[in-house]
Chains A and B, each alone.
Chain A
Amino acid sequence: MKRLFLAATLVALGVTAFFALYVTPPRENQGFDAVRLLYLHVPCAWLAYLAFGVTAIASILWLIPRTRATTWDLLAGASAEVGVVFTGLMLVVGSLWGRPTWGTWWEWDARLTTTAILFFLYLGYLALRRTGATAEERGKRCAIAALIAFADVPIVHFSVSWWQTLHQSGTVFNQNLDVKVNGSMAFTLILAVLSFTMLYVYLVMERFQLAQLEEGQEERELRLAIEERVRAEQAVPA
Chain B
Amino acid sequence: MSLLRDALLVAGKDLRIERRSRVALQQILPFGAIVVVLFAFALDSDRTVLGRAAPGLFWATVLLAALLAVGRAFAVEEANRARDGLRLSGIDGGSLFLGKAAAIAIELLLLEFVLGVAVVVLYDVALHDALILVLAAVAATIGLAGTGTVYGVLAGGLRARETLVPLLVLPAVTPVMLGGTRAFEAALDNSPGDAWPWVQLLGAFAVLVVAAGFVVFGPLLEEA
Contacts and interface: CB of A to CB of B under 8 A. Distances in A.
A and B bind = yes
Interface of A: 117, 120-121, 123-124, 127-128, 131-133, 136-137, 140-141, 144-145, 148-149, 151-152, 155-156, 159-160, 162
Interface stretch (B2-10, B69-77, B111-119, B153-161): B153-161
Interface stretch (B15-23, B32-40, B42-50, B174-182): B174-182
Interface stretch (B91-99, B125-133, B162-170): B162-170
Contacts of B167: 120, 123-124, 127
B106 interface: no
Interface of B: 150-151, 154-155, 158-160, 164, 167-168, 170-172, 174-175, 178-179, 197, 201, 204-205, 208, 212, 216, 219-220, 223-224
Contact of B174 (A127, A145, A156): A156
A95 to B, nearest CB: 19
Nearest to A119: B171
Q: Of A120, A141, A149, A160, which is in contact with the most chain B CB atoms at under 10 Å from its CB?
A: A141
A177 B122 CA distance: 54
A141 B174 contact: no
Contact of B172 (A121, A123, A159): A121
Contact of B154 (A120, A128, A132, A152): A128
DSSP majority for the B interface?
helix
Nearest to B222: A140
A148 B154 CA distance: 11
Contacts of A148: 150, 172, 212
Contacts of B171: 117, 120-121, 124, 152
Given A131-B155, A131-B159, 6 more contacts: A127-B164, A144-B220, A155-B201, A159-B175, A159-B179, A160-B178
B154 A155 contact: no
A145 B159 CA distance: 17
Nearest to A160: B178
Nearest to A149: B172
27 contacts: A121-B171, A121-B172, A124-B168, A127-B160, A128-B155, A128-B168, A131-B155, A131-B160, A131-B164, A137-B224, A140-B219, A141-B155, A144-B216, A144-B220, A145-B151, A148-B172, A148-B212, A151-B212, A152-B171, A152-B172, A155-B175, A155-B201, A155-B204, A156-B174, A156-B178, A159-B175, A159-B201
B96 to A, nearest CB: 16
Contacts of A123: 167
A64 to B, nearest CB: 13
Contacts of A160: 178
Given A121-B171, A148-B150, A133 B158 contact: yes
B154 A151 contact: no
Contacts of B201: 155, 159
A162 B197 contact: yes
B153 to A, nearest CB: 9
Of A132, A137, A159, the most chain B CB neighbours within 10 A belong to A159
Contacts of A145: 151, 154, 168
A152 B159 contact: no
Contacts of B197: 162
A141 B220 contact: yes
Contacts of B159: 131-132
Contacts of A132: 158-159
A19 B178 CA distance: 42
Contact of A117 (B151, B154, B174, B179): B174
Most buried by A among B154, B172, B201, B216: B172
A111 to B, nearest CB: 15
B223 A137 contact: yes
B170 to A, nearest CB: 7
Contacts of A159: 175, 178-179, 201
A136 B167 CA distance: 23
